[in-house]
């Protein structure tokens, strides 16, 4: 673990996506906080994650468990991995702890039971809704919507690219560092309004996954200097 790297809090980090990101980032030397609505749920997820990390020779001490508000307050960068139905209520709760920080919004506006159908919210995207709710003092960056949690849980490299959108270029660059630390390629994809494209792609990928029995992602081509 490096003291020069930002500390990351993953709110709603008890699921497969959150623990998958936590595992990847701790392996890259980051300190990570698993956040949840209750400390008990966060601790239970941490205990399960720590067992897997020890089996793989990773530093389980680099991860801690806290309730969401405490986790957001203790971190330099906050990552939101809650379901769409809990996105705005969670942001409103932790908003005081987010001021001046980067929020990485991984929310996808899936509306069960038709999750394979694109259903974007009135704000245009979940990412744009988060920025509107939090105000300009929080730099919202949307990313990781098209990455299968299944692949994050695996211990090898990922053949998947990540679209990174947000109104602040420096904040996007910081998140691209996190993408690369997790074993993928990240690309500047424009302002937060463009998050609608990545969010909509998730429903398309769900449809592909069902049809072809896979865990599909996206890949940006035509960039020989990065291949």
Q: Write the pLDDT tens digit of every residue in 39-74.
A: 999 999 999 888 777 776 666 678 999 999 999 999
Assess contact for 132 and 113: CB atoms under 8 A. no
Assess contact for 96 and 138: CB atoms under 8 A. no
Q: Write the pLDDT tens digit of every residue in 86-100.
A: 999 999 999 999 999
Work out the percent of the chain whose per-residue pLDDT is above 70: 95
Q: Which two tokens stand for residue 52?
A: 């897997």
Quote the DSSP letter at residue 7.
Answer: P
We find that the CATH architecture of domain 8-212 is 3-Layer(aba) Sandwich (3.40)
Q: How far from each other are the two terminal CA atoms of the chain, in whole angstroms? A: 29
Alpha carbon distance 46, 145 (integer Å): 23
Alpha carbon distance 28, 26 (integer Å): 5
Q: Note the Cα 64 to chain centre separation in Å.
A: 17
Q: How confident is the model at residue 126 (pLDDT cuts 50, 70, 90)?
A: very high
């Amino acid at each position: 673990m490096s003291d020069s790297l930002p500390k990351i809090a993953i709110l709603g980090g008890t699921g497969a996506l959150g623990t998958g990101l936590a595992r990847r980032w701790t392996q890259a030397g980051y300190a990570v906080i698993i956040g949840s609505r209750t400390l008990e749920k966060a601790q239970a997820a941490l205990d399960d994650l720590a067992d897997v990390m020890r089996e793989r020779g990773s530093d389980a001490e680099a991860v801690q468990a806290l309730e969401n508000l405490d986790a957001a307050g203790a971190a330099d960068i906050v990552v939101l991995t809650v379901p769409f139905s809990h996105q705005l209520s969670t942001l409103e709760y932790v908003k005081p702890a987010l001021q001046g920080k980067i929020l990485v919004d991984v929310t996808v506006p899936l509306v069960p039971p038709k999750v394979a159908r694109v259903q974007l919210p009135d704000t245009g995207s979940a990412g744009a809704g988060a920025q509107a709710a939090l105000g300009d003092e929080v730099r919202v960056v949307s990313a990781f919507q098209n990455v299968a949690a299944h692949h994050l849980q695996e211990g090898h490299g990922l053949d998947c690219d990540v679209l990174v959108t947000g109104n602040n270029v420096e904040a996007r660059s910081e998140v691209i560092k996190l993408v690369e630390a997790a074993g993928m390629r990240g690309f500047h994809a424009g302002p937060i309004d463009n998050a609608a494209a990545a969010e909509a792609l998730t429903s398309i990928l769900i449809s592909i996954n069902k049809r072809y029995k896979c865990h599909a992602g996206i890949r940006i081509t035509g960039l020989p200097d990065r291949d």
